[in-house]
A and B are shown apart, each in its own frame.
Chain A
Amino acid sequence: MAENKPEGGEGGGEAGAAPAEGEGKKEESKKVVHTYALVKFSDMPEEMRGEAVEVAVTACEKYSSNNEMAARMIKESMDKNYGPSWHVVVGEGFGFEISYMEKNILYMFFAGNTAICVWKCI
């Protein structure tokens, strides 16, 4: 629950600019931007989900301004831990329509401005 202006917002480029303004307005009223990891959707087993969230959080903290590197790191560590063919999307604004292997998806928000979708599909 740290209060901070998301740094990733600048890295996001064009897409990130407009929402950043909106958040600025909201900050005036509430002044709280939550940065904890919020799992939006996941059907992984409890243990696996915990680990995946940790991996994602670590990667996003390490490469807070480089989503591509973060995605690469998540993918590589997930491949190593749970076998290959993991796919990762890290970004601030995107849409997706995927098919994933059951029990192998994690869709979460982190740092108040980043969405991470990790899934496995061969």
Chain B
Amino acid sequence: MPEEGAEGTTAGPSSGDAAPRTSVSKSHKMSAKRVPSRIEQSVDAGGDDIDSWLKAKTVLKPEDQLELTDVELKEEHPRVLVQGNPQTPLNVVEFSYKERSYVTIPAPPPLQLLYELQGIALNMYSDEAQGVRQSIMEDIAVEEEEEEEEEEEGEGEMLPEGEGEEGEAEEDEEEEEGDEGQREGDDDEGEEEIQKPKKITNMFNFCERPAQTFIRFKRAMETQTLPASRLPLGDQVTQYIIYDSYEKDFAAKEEEKERERLAKERAVPTGLATAAEAPVLLHKKEKKITDFEIISKKMVNSAKTLERMVNQNIFDGVSQDYRNYEDPADDLREKEGTLLPLWKFSYEKTFKSHTVTDICWNPKYYDLFAVTYGSFEFMKGAPDGAVCLYTLKNPSYPDYICMVDYVVLCIDIHPQHPHLFVIGKSDGNVAVYNVLLATSEPQFKSNSVKYKHGGIVWQVKWAADWPDGEMVFYSISDDGFIFQWVITSMGMTESKVMPIDLDIPPCPGPEGTSVRLKGCGRTMCFHPTDPLICLIGTEEGFIHKCNITYASNYLFTYAAHRLPVYKINFNKFNSDIFISCSAGWGIKMWEDCRDEPLFVFDLRSPVEDVEWAPYSSTVFGAATSDGRVHIFDVNVDKYNPICSQQVVSKKRNKLTKLAFNSYLPFIVVGDIRGVILSLKLSPNCRKKVKPPKKGPQLTNTELEVNKLTTILSHVREDKQLVPPPDRERAEEEEEEARHHG
């Protein structure tokens, strides 16, 4: 700043305080370059005064800046960014002692190093890292060995192992800390460490110690087994515990013996007990029954009574209809009758899930009927079945329920012993149940291994008892056999009665054998008067008449239908007449030993069931799978049903079974949804023959028989008509006769 002071003095007092710097700087420059023009400068300084109030602009210039003229200043210099680094030295040479001359070395790469930090991390797989690691490990190993030796020496054998291990663990920790310390140290001088690895191992004769493990044997998964399972058991024994358990066991054994003795006593009579005998047995049993059971029995009885009373109130309207209502429209109509729906029966466990497979009225109690539940679709669903007994007095709940493990397809109640019924199951077994027994187990059942059918049991039928009182029933199955089952005091025995042979020549089997084909039995029906004669309906559509004592051949064969025969039923009045129905839409009425049917009806839907009415010789009912019930009276109309009524939905439902009540004017039908519907027949459907006013007095039965005979006499015609002789030929013959004459 001395210059400034000097300048200020030279510039004079005229120059203001505001602009000393500019002047200074300028003067300074000028002093450097243009020293001679001092006067000009003073003038300039005067000029500056005018602008001195403006804020002075300070222009800092380097001392060695070129002074350029305006023209030079205005000259434009274009600048271009190029790839190359202009700072890069070119043609760098180095003296090579080898060649004894300068050699050019390649230019350095275009790389600008801004910042550099030496890292401490190493790639653990790199050779360097391996070297470092190994050296550390070796150090540790050596130290450990030394220490172990020391310990062993110091502590001796008496020390428990645990402590020794603990000691080791502690030492390990220490070592680890030490390692860390080392590593930290390494960080500082990492390069040094890396540059001089301790030892280069012979990689061909080297095995890492930490990697030495057991060599596990390979075993196939399949041969491995689970260890035997173990269970805990704990108990305490004292003399009194032993004594008590002996007492208890002995008491149980005594009781068992007593029970067996009782059962043995009971077994023989119950097998053949009739309804009349049963109460006596029940009475005997009651002796053993405790008070509680008596009370609960009373409770059940009164609850049942109450239930019936409630039902009576609920279904009062239905009962009134059943008792009093007769369709008034029948008076106006000539032939047609109607069906009036009454009660509906269903059981909650089988409702919708099971199909009604058979219905059988009890022969003794006409308000009681048995229903079997199951399914006709054997490929899917409903693997179990049930048997229920319903009474008309209680439509809301079955009187007797018995769940069965397989689909039940048929039932028959013994005509003389109405407490016994037999069922046939889809697995080929049959079982006899006794309603009087408290259990829901069958009283007799077929041996499910040896003695049973090989197919579905389609029908079971009680036959007349043998003279010595043994009960007999027959079963027919689609394995092509009819079995006879005899219930004796020893139990149930079976015998194969007859195979159902097909009437076609044997088929060639494997290895030159010939196989006799068997028909699939579907239904059977015993002759009402001759207990040895029975009719068998097969899946092939034949009806065979056979004698069950001579199984070798059929008495007669009817080529009845083209599809399975579903049902055969003998007329209740004339045992020569029977009716059959089939899946092939047809109902046919047959006469014994007559090839051609007397009547043929086509219902345009598979006919699931057909049955003669018990009150008339000419009336029969049929249920078709389109949900209709048809009532025919051939006395009234030979071609069409007198009543054909849709009773269930055609789309969703099908009828499966139909049964006439033997005393009351109504029928029950079962459907595939497990519901049994009872239908009252209107007066037109149950017309009876009016006794003739003249002539001898005939009983009702005789009248019915006569009615049927009359009808049949109209139908019975010789099918083979003898053609009348040709007229020409007759004339010729006459001429010949004349000639001869």
Among B223-231, B497-505, B515-523, the stretch in contact with A: B223-231
Cross-chain contact A101 with B239 (CB below 8 angstroms): no
Taken together as a complex, chains A and B put the C-alpha atoms of A113 and B241 apart, in Å, by 9
Say if the beta carbon of A22 comes within 8 Å of chain B: yes
Instruction: Give A34 to B252 CA distance when docked, in angstroms.
Output: 14
8 Å CB contact of B239 from A23, A96, A97 = A23
Chain B residues with CB under 8 Å of A99's CB are 230-233
Residue in B230, B231, B234, B237 whose beta carbon sits within 8 Å of that of A97 in the complex: B234
CB-based contact A26/B243 at 8 Å: yes
Check B233–A38 contact: CB distance below 8 A.
Answer: no
**Shortest Cβ distance from residue B79 to the other chain A in the assembled complex, whole angstroms:** 94
A93–B239 touching, CB < 8 Å: yes
Taking CB as reference atom, which chain A residue is nearest B243? A23
Given contacts A34-B250, A101-B229, A101-B230, contact A95 B236 (CB under 8 A): yes
Mark each residue of chain B from 228 to 265: 1 if its CB lies under 8 Å from any CB of chain A, else 0: 11111111111110110111011000000000000000
> Known contacts A26-B243, A112-B242, A112-B246; is A100 also within 8 Å of B230 by CB?
yes
A63 at the interface (CB under 8 A from B): no
B230 engages A121 (CB within 8 Å): yes
Question: A41 at the A/B interface (Cβ < 8 Å)?
Answer: yes
- Contact partner of B242 (CB less than 8 A), chosen from A95, A101, A115, is A115
Indicate if A16 sits at the interface (CB-CB under 8 A). yes
Interface centre among B230, B235, B237 (most CB of A within 10 A): B237
Residue A102 interfacial (CB < 8 Å): yes
Inter-chain contacts of B240 with A (CB < 8 A)? 19, 22
Taking CB atoms, residues of chain B closer than 8 Å to A97 are 232-234
- CB pair B233 A34 closer than 8 Å: no
Q: How far is the CB of A85 from chain B (nearest CB, A)?
A: 11
Residues of A within 8 A of B249 (CB): 34, 38
Do A95 and B230 touch across chains, with their CB atoms under 8 A apart? no
What is the bound-complex CA distance between A121 and B228, given in angstroms? Answer: 9
Is B242 a contact of A109 with CB atoms below 8 Å?
A: yes
Name the residue on A nearest B229 (C-beta).
A102
> Contact string, A16-54, partner B, CB cutoff 8 A, digits 1/0?
101110110010000001100010110000000000000
Which chain A residues lie closer than 8 Å to B245 at the CB level?
38, 40, 109
Most chain A C-beta atoms within 10 Å of own C-beta, residue among B228, B231, B232, B250: B231
Hey, which chain A residues are within 8 Å of B238, CB to CB? 19, 92-93
The secondary structure that dominates the B interface is: mixed
Chain B nearest CB: distance from A94 CB in Å? 6
Report the nearest B residue to A121, measured CB to CB: B230
Are the CB atoms of B231 and A92 closer together than 8 Å?
no
A34 to B253, CA, bound (A): 12
Query: Complex Cα distance A107/B236, Å?
Result: 11
Say yes or no for A98: interface residue by CB 8 A criterion: yes
Q: Which B residue's beta carbon lies closest to that of A98?
A: B233
- Chain A interface residue count: which class? 35 or more
Verify A92–B237 contact, CB threshold 8 A.
Answer: yes
CB contacts (< 8 Å) of B243 on chain A: these are 19, 22-23, 26, 33, 112
Cα distance A20–B239 when bound, in Å? 8
Let me know if B242 and A96 touch, CB within 8 A.
Answer: no
The docked-state distance in angstroms from the alpha carbon of A113 to that of B238 is 8
B246: chain A residues within 8 A (beta carbon): 33-34, 38, 109, 112
Q: Hey, which chain A residues are within 8 Å of B228, CB to CB?
A: 101-102, 122
B239 A22 Cβ-Cβ under 8 A: yes
Q: Return the CB mask of A73-88 against B: 1 if under 8 Å, else 0.
A: 0000000000000000
Within 8 Å by CB of B234, from A38, A96, A122, lies A96
Q: Report the separation of the CA atoms of residues A8 and B318 in the bound assembly, to the nearest whole angstrom.
A: 80
A87 to B274 Cα, complex, angstroms: 59
Q: Complex Cα distance A117/B233, Å?
A: 11
B239 near A95 (CB under 8 angstroms)?
Answer: no
Bound complex: CA of A119 vs CA of B230, how far in Å?
11
Q: Are A105 and B233 in contact (CB under 8 A)?
A: yes
| B231 x A102 contact (CB < 8 A) | yes
Most central of B230, B238, B239 by chain A CB within 10 Å = B239
Q: Are B237 and A98 in contact (CB under 8 A)?
A: no
Which residue of chain A has its CB nearest to the CB of B239? A19
Shortest distance from the beta carbon of B73 to any chain A beta carbon, whole Å: 108
Separation of A97 and B234 alpha carbons in the complex (Å):
4
Residues of B within 8 A of A113 (CB): 239, 242
Query: In the complex, A112 Cα to B241 Cα: how many Å?
Result: 10
Shortest distance from the beta carbon of B244 to any chain A beta carbon, whole Å: 10
Nearest A residue (CB) for B238: A93
Q: Give the distance in Å from the alpha carbon of A113 to the alpha carbon of B244 in the complex.
A: 11
Contacts of A119 in B (CB 8 A): 233
A47→B162 CA distance, assembly (Å): 49
Give the CA-CA distance A117 to B242 in the complex, in Å.
Answer: 13
- Decide: B237 and A94 in contact? CB cutoff 8 A: yes
In whole Å, how far is B255's beta carbon from the nearest beta carbon of chain A?
A: 15
- Name the residue of chain B whose CB is nearest to the CB of A17: B239
The complex places the Cα of A95 from the Cα of B250 at a distance, in Å, of 24
Residue on B with the closest CB to A95? B236
Q: Smallest Cβ distance from B489 to chain A, in angstroms?
A: 31
**With contacts A34-B250, A38-B249 known, is A100 near B239, CB below 8 A?**
no
Q: How far is the CB of A42 from chain B (nearest CB, A)?
A: 11
Query: Which residues of B sit under 8 angstroms from A102, Cβ to Cβ?
Result: 228-231
CA–CA, A114 and B247, complex, Å: 15
Point out the residues of chain A lying under 8 angstroms from B236, CB to CB. Answer: 94-96
Given that A38-B249, A40-B245, A109-B246 are known contacts, is A98 also in contact with B232, CB under 8 Å in the complex?
yes
A30 nearest CB neighbor, chain B only: B247
Question: Which residues of B lie under 8 Å from residue A95 when comparing CB positions?
Answer: 234-237
For residue A102, give the distance in angstroms from its CB to the closest CB of chain B.
5
Q: Hey, which chain A residues are within 8 Å of B237, CB to CB?
A: 91-95, 109, 115
Q: How far is the CA of A15 from the CA of B158 in the complex (A)?
A: 41
The interface residues of chain B lying within 8 Å CB-to-CB of A22 are: 239-240, 243
A97 to chain B, nearest CB (A): 4
Assembled-state Cα–Cα distance A94/B234 (Å): 11
A41 touches B230 (CB 8 A): no
Q: How far is the CB of A60 from chain B (nearest CB, A)?
A: 13
Q: Is there an interface contact between B234 and A98, defined as CB atoms closer than 8 Å? A: yes
**A92: which B residues are within 8 A, CB to CB?**
237-239, 242
A26 to B229 CA separation, bound complex (whole angstroms): 42
- CB closest chain-B residue, reference A16: B239
Complex Cα gap A41–B235 (Å): 10
Distance (whole angstroms) from the CB of A26 to the closest CB of chain B: 7
Give min CB distance, A52 to chain B, whole Å. Answer: 15
A115 to B238 Cα, complex, angstroms: 9
- Contact in complex: A107, B233 (CB < 8 Å): yes
Q: How far is the CB of B136 from chain A (nearest CB, A)?
A: 46
User: A112 → chain B, closest Cβ, in Å?
Assistant: 6
- 7 residue pairs bridging A and B, Cβ less than 8 Å apart: A19-B243, A22-B239, A34-B247, A41-B235, A101-B228, A101-B229, A115-B237
Q: Interface residues, chain B, CB within 8 Å of chain A? A: 228-240, 242-243, 245-247, 249-250
What are the 7 tightest A-B residue pairs by CB atom distance, in nearest-first order?
A19-B239, A97-B234, A115-B237, A95-B236, A34-B246, A101-B228, A102-B229
Known: A18-B239, A22-B239. 7 other contacts (CB 8 A): A20-B239, A26-B243, A98-B234, A101-B228, A105-B231, A114-B242, A115-B242
